[in-house]
Amino acid sequence: MLNANTSFYNAFEAGDLDLMAAVWLPEPDPVCIHPGNAAIYGYSEMMRAWAMIFANTPYIQFFLTDVQVRVDEDVAYVTCTENVLSSGDGAPEEGFAGGKALATNVFRKTSTGWRLWIHHASPVLSSGGQQEEAE
């Protein structure tokens, strides 16, 4: 099941729509929620959204931490922190941006293996302030 989770992030990093399509469970309707965006329902709508993301993301890399797994018969989930490194417009040489999101990936077991059913990522917002030290 962790291989299916890894396949999701590999497809995302590669910007490969065919690989991404192979990760997802087409039925019943999958759901995908990217940080700060509305939910995308349904396989066709989701694949259109991934095509747009890939067309506008020249570089992205994920470093997963805090990975937790739960398997219950034919349904499983992975929670993790997505530590994201991405580039701006153009190429990685133009500069990198970092971010962090908490993600839940829900999988269903099929006759061909585990398939992603629900992806929900929420941004981790930093306070931006300094913590006061106790004297």
Residue 90: the pLDDT is 43
Closest CA to 4 of 88, 106, 86, 85: 106
Over the stretch 25-82, which tens digit does the pLDDT of each residue have?
Answer: 999 899 999 998 999 999 999 999 999 999 999 899 999 999 999 999 999 999 999 9
User: Which domains does the chain possess?
Assistant: 1-123 (3.10.450.50)
**What confidence tier does 127 reach under pLDDT thresholds 50, 70, 90?**
low
Q: Residue 86 above 80 pLDDT?
A: yes
Query: Which is more confidently placed, 62 or 87?
Result: 62
pLDDT of residue 89 exceeding 70, the answer is no
pLDDT(92) > 80: no
Strands laid side by side in the 31-33 sheet: 40-41, 31-33, 113-123, 96-110, 75-87, 60-72
